[in-house]
Structure 1
Amino acid sequence: METKEAWHLTLVVFICWLAVFVRADAEDDIAFSAGESDTTKFGQAKSVRYLLYDVNPGEGFNLRRDVYMRVTNLVKELNKEEPWVLVLPPWGRLYHWKSPDLEQIKIPWSTFFDLPSLREHVPVIEFEEYLKLRGEPVIDEVYYLQGFKGGWTKWEEKMNITECNEGTGFVQDEEGNWYSWFFGYEEVYAKKFACLSYMGHATFIKPFLLKNTIGRCVMLPRAEVLLHDHFGNSEYWKARRSMVFAKHLRDIGDEFRRENLDSTDPEDKTELEDWTKMKRNHGDALGGPYVGVHLRRRDYLYAREGNLPSLKGAAKQIKKILKKYNLQKVFVATDAPSEEFEEFKNYFKKSKVYRFVPSKEIKEKYKDGGVAIIDQWIAAHARYFVGSYESTFSFRIQEEREILGFDPDMTFNRLCPDNDSDCEKPSIWKIVY
């Protein structure tokens, strides 16, 4: 590795950590201060440490975004004691990313999200940046999170190094090094591996990381085991607001809105600002003159049988919304095959129904995940949004609309099954600043 490049990466890590240090210090005057009996001098800086995590391979894109929020707030707490940088796990091989013509591994976070915005919350770097900084493909300690064997009869926060409950995917070679999938990087190995049975919130593991680990980089596979400390509070929303989509994806979505849906930010009152300063009231956003729909199909028809409408039933509900709000256009984000979408469109005789179909270049460059984000971005800017039952894809759109400042009545809605026209609405999680 060239010395100049190594110096640059080190500077990036220092700057992004320093930014969070200053912000934390501004928010909490006692952050980083020593206790009365602590003789540590301010100038005695500690070496930067790295936290890496992974999620159960079966979990989808939008649940992984939720796990990121749990881990990022853990890193924020760690930085109150010593400098930690979050290493972003590369994307790839997700269940719903099924395009056979795409190589969808080792995808950096910058493909999908705006890294400077993430760094306004905690210091983060890409996995490849970490490898360059270390100069060797090594992770010092891995603690594979798992539930306690036999389950639990009462809730209590606890953890313990135990035998592994199941196959972990980690194997040890003759030299004592541990190997696993590691996001498709075959040369990467870990020096130490153990299973950690865990029940607790994300920050409950903080003392363990500070006092029981010494490695420069610690990895936590199955990080979905860590629970939100306070779901829906201001810290949750700071993490969520920092997850701004990459500008190149927003630009594609904005172009589609402008050309097909008569929708622009100035007219829709949906201008995006620096999230650390942006504070919207409910009803500030108007939205484009169209109905945004998340119409979940495929495996969901079986997984949520009885809670989703037929195509005809969904069209009937949407036409009522169009009439109520005097709208003529519908944007549909859906995993439905093309023949189902055409059937759905045919139920609309007086309205235009749109779906984002990526060019070959866009799909190759931004993968299935990028296309999903473009869908979410367009749906989030609609005058009225209606989603699918218990879908994290719909939930992420609802969060985006909360950030933009939409009226909750125009956001927290779902498509009802054909036999229940007055089904229960989704839970309303309003933004907290």
Structure 2
Amino acid sequence: MSNCALYFILNLVFILLSYNYAVCEDAKPAGNKRYLLYDCNPGEGFNLRRDVYMRVANLVKSLRESKSCKGDDWVLVLPPWGRISYHWKEHGMEQSLIPWSMFFNVKSMSGFVPVIEYEDYIEEVGEAVIDELWYLQNYAEGWSSGTWEEKMHERDCIENPVYETDSEGKIRGWFWGYEETYAKTFKCVSVQGMSKLFVKPLCGGNTTAKSVMLDRGENMLHDMFGGKRYWDCRRSMVFADALIKTADQFRSKYLDSDDVRDKTVMPENWKDHKCTEDAIGGPYIAAHVRRKDFLYARKEFVPSIKQVAKVLSEKMKEYKVDKVFIASDGTKEEMKELKSLLPGMFMYKPTKTEKSEFKMGGVAIIDQIICSHARFFMGTKESTFSFRIQEEREIMCFPKHTTFNRICSDEGSDDCEQPAKWKIVWKSDSEIWD
């Protein structure tokens, strides 16, 4: 064998050994995998729950970056949808046990923090069990000094939580409709503060449990509302493909709208998106007209049907369009009256199959997608449904004057208070905590 051949063989062996070593290094065991679960008060609506997700997701982001959590591989377990009785009119199990993948692109969400569906969690841990359940509550004494102070303490329960201990000592409760699920331990935790307040107690300060559930997650506040992390998380919440497709088909068929002409084309990966020019939107305007509980809970803000028609007719002339899309929980009679006053009015009316396939949450999202692509949008004051549409339009780079608007009440003046203009944040603002 020549020296050249021997040299070649020795180099090949060295390369193979180096490759195997690198593979072994990459395949080394991950850190201590831990799971964070959460739930909300049953009375909270669909769009508020989406906001609570963002608070918890940012907590998981902080847990994964914190020095005190070194070695812990935190994963967020998505709570199955269901039991939103007021907003989701259909009752029964068909409106429970709903995975997030029915409404959102879970792979896209995992681009912000690792997330898994609850059934995947059960498969990973081998049983429908949660090590610790923390029931979040306010402080019984309220604000002791009248000034804001971040704090958290394990306390006696102010109210009787909807959990019971069975004969085997297992904590039983709703748990998203999964009857087999139980928790090993339970405690009430009074909390007043932002999500990052949970980092220290979750990273060995108060528990080393493999899985922790935070019930009544709405008691946790945003760390940096409107900051880059807020928007990164929000941008990752891309809707499910089936919902986008259905909304796009409606836009094309009835509203002469498509992403290319409307300048609303989005990249496959949300991280690749930047605002380089303003979106135009389809040749229609859109409005969210909230009725029902708002008619008595916020009656001073709610316009009459005639006022809605008057304002929208004026906006249609201003934007030189002859079509208007309405998303509303109004009665059939109210919408019939509005249609008579707005001949160019369209609404998305799901078929029986679509209702069954998309559920109430999916139908609401389709309404939001169509509204968010309009040339001009008007919402309802203090409605999270409207706020989510405004966020979508911010993400798609619509001008703010076409996004942050509302229809004033009949008694309201032409310059009644309009929604706050929340500007999307693209660049980092050093939101890293130890």
Matches within 5 A, 1:254-403: 254-273=248-267, 274-281=269-276, 284-348=278-342, 351-403=343-395
What is the aligned partner in structure 2 of residue 9 from structure 1? none
RMSD: 1.4
Amino acid at match of 2:221: L
Q: Is the 8 A contact 1:118 1:124 kept in 2?
A: yes
CA offsets, 1:161-219, max 9 Å, x none?
11001121011123221011000111110000000000110011100000121221100
- The structure 2 residue matched to 1:87, chosen from 60, 67, 77, is 77
Tell me the secondary structure at the aligned position of residue 86 of structure 1: strand
TM norm structure 2: 0.88
Tell me the secondary structure at the aligned position of residue 168 of structure 1: coil
- The structure 2 residue matched to 1:115, chosen from 106, 110, 115, is 106
Shift of 1:133: 1.1
Q: Is the 8 A contact 1:90 1:126 kept in 2?
A: yes
Shift of 1:137: 1.3
Shift of 1:154: 2.0
Shift of 1:63: 0.5
CA offsets, 1:256-278, max 9 Å, x none?
00000000000000001121010
- 1:324 & 1:67 partners in 2: Cα distance? 37
Amino acid at match of 2:166: D
What is the aligned partner in structure 2 of residue 162 from structure 1? 155
Match status 1:76 vs 2:61: yes
What is the aligned partner in structure 1 of residue 32 from structure 2? 47
Tell me the secondary structure at the aligned position of residue 103 of structure 1: helix
Shift of 1:119: 0.5
Amino acid at match of 1:277: D
Amino acid at match of 2:129: V
Q: Is the 8 A contact 1:102 1:367 kept in 2?
A: no
- 1:56 & 1:100 partners in 2: Cα distance? 17
Tell me the secondary structure at the aligned position of residue 346 of structure 1: helix
What is the aligned partner in structure 2 of residue 422 from structure 1? 415
Amino acid at match of 1:373: I
TM norm structure 1: 0.88
Shift of 1:97: 0.0
Amino acid at match of 1:384: F
What is the aligned partner in structure 1 of residue 133 from structure 2? 142
- 1:339 & 1:134 partners in 2: Cα distance? 51
Shift of 1:155: 1.0
Shift of 1:151: 1.1
- 1:113 & 1:261 partners in 2: Cα distance? 24
Amino acid at match of 1:108: P
Instruction: Give the paired residue count.
Output: 389
What is the aligned partner in structure 2 of residue 24 from structure 1? none
- 1:142 & 1:158 partners in 2: Cα distance? 19
Amino acid at match of 1:398: Q
What is the aligned partner in structure 2 of residue 106 from structure 1? 97
Match status 1:236 vs 2:221: no
- 2:98 & 2:327 partners in 1: Cα distance? 23
Match status 1:205 vs 2:190: no
Q: Is the 8 A contact 1:157 1:201 kept in 2?
A: yes
Matches within 5 A, 1:178-189: 178-189=171-182
Structure 1 residue ranges (4+ consecutive) displaced by more than 6 angstroms after TM superposition: none
CA offsets, 1:247-300, max 9 Å, x none?
10000000000000000000000001121010115x520000001110001111
Match status 1:251 vs 2:240: no
Please tell me whether Structure 1 or Structure 2 has the larger radius of gyration of its CA atoms. 2
